Amino acid sequence: MIEINTKDYTTFKVSDNVTMYAVTFKNLYKMDVSGHLFIPNSLDRNTKYAAIIIGHPMGAVKEQSADVYASNMADRGFITLAIDLSFWGESEGEPRNAVLPDVYAEDFSAAVDFMGTRPYIDRDNIGVIGVCGSGSFVISAAKIDPRMKAIATVSMYDMGSANRNALNHSLTLEQRKQIIADAAEQRYVEFNGGEVKYTGGTDLKLDEKTHPIQREFFDFYRTSRGEYTPKGSSKETTTKPTLSSNVKFMNFYPFDDIETISPRPLLFITGDRAHSKEFSEDAYKRAAEPKELYYVKNAGHVDLYDKTDLIPFNKLENFFKKYLK
């Protein structure tokens, strides 16, 4: 555990009341998972406290959004951990930017392993927050890991449905099959040592034809607001999964059996202007009690990545203080 000088980061802020550490731990498959651990300075390390694990948007890294939530929730008295999913950021996994949703979910369980074995953390009171794509990963994890006692998602994307159907179910079956065929053909290329191709992610530049949703992501990932390139990575490939692996999402159904998480509580937070709110609404409809769907007024999808004046931290604080004793 290494203390970090937080002034080295520009995508999030840490108050003087909190200390941030770099940590690394193994997941079930012996892969290194990297994270930032935030501990309020006022806490007595000889006492046990509730903790919250936070996951970043799909294609992002912990420095983009997850650390915003972790630092702010730590400032409210929780011990928090923001993680890099495997294949992304500082976590292990090859090839880089690979898609493997089962391992993403495993990373959250591994984070519980790590947090639950710290002497100052109450292992019976660990919660999780998933932002954007990680919202679907924490649900997938919580279905088979009862140690996650309270689950919140923010601006959630169901990465399975988003890839099978696109937003508002706008992708036709023929288009889906073409995507699958392209990925399958690309496997031959890479098997023979050819160039890796990437798909999706955020555009590198704007023009008059750029879609409004791409503009929304561009304003975060490609400007000083949220841009971050991990060591050893290329700016050109940040946010972009590999084409050959991205079809793994076609088999990802995180909301199936979501009702089995009950009686553990679920909180779904989405902006009332978010292009992604259909996913939170779908999950809420399928989930069993206790559950809540909370709309942030005048907020879009990416607004809830980092705009601390819009992110409902009071709502999150009250939720976790209620359910994490």
- Cβ proximity of 50 and 126 under 8 Å: yes
318 falls within a domain: yes
User: 214-225 pLDDT, tens per residue?
Assistant: 999 999 999 999
pLDDT of residue 136: 98
Residues in the chain with pLDDT values less than 50: none
Total domains in the chain come to 1
Asked, for residue 231, whether it belongs to a domain, the answer is: no
Contact 61, 91 (CB under 8 A): no
- Residue 289 falls within a domain, yes or no? yes
Residue 218 in any domain: the answer is: no
Hey, what amino acid is at 193?
A: G
- CA 30 to the chain's CA centroid: 21
254 contacts 287 by C-beta, under 8 angstroms: no
The number of helices, as runs of H, and strands, as runs of E, in the chain is: 10, 9
Q: Is residue 67 domain-resident?
A: yes
Structure token pair of residue 122: 């109450």
Residue 58 lies in domain: 2-166+251-323
The pLDDT assigned to 8 comes to: 77
Strands 32-40 and 2-3: unpaired
| Contact status, residue 258 vs residue 281, Cβ threshold 8 Å | no
- Structural domain includes residue 212: no
**123: in domain:** yes
pLDDT at site 6: 73
275 and 249 Cβ atoms separated by less than 8 Å: no
Q: Name beta bridge partners: 81.
A: 37, 53
**Has residue 234 been placed in a domain?**
no
pLDDT tens-digit map of 152-171: 999 999 999 999 999 999 99
Task: Tally the residues of the chain.
Answer: 325
The CATH number of residue 304's host domain is 3.40.50.1820
Token duo for residue 51? 């903790």
Q: Is 157 exposed, middle or buried (0-12, 13-18, 19+ CB in 10 A)?
A: buried
What stretch of H or E contains 23? strand 18-26
- pLDDT in the model for residue 141: 98
Six token digits for residue 103: 């391992």
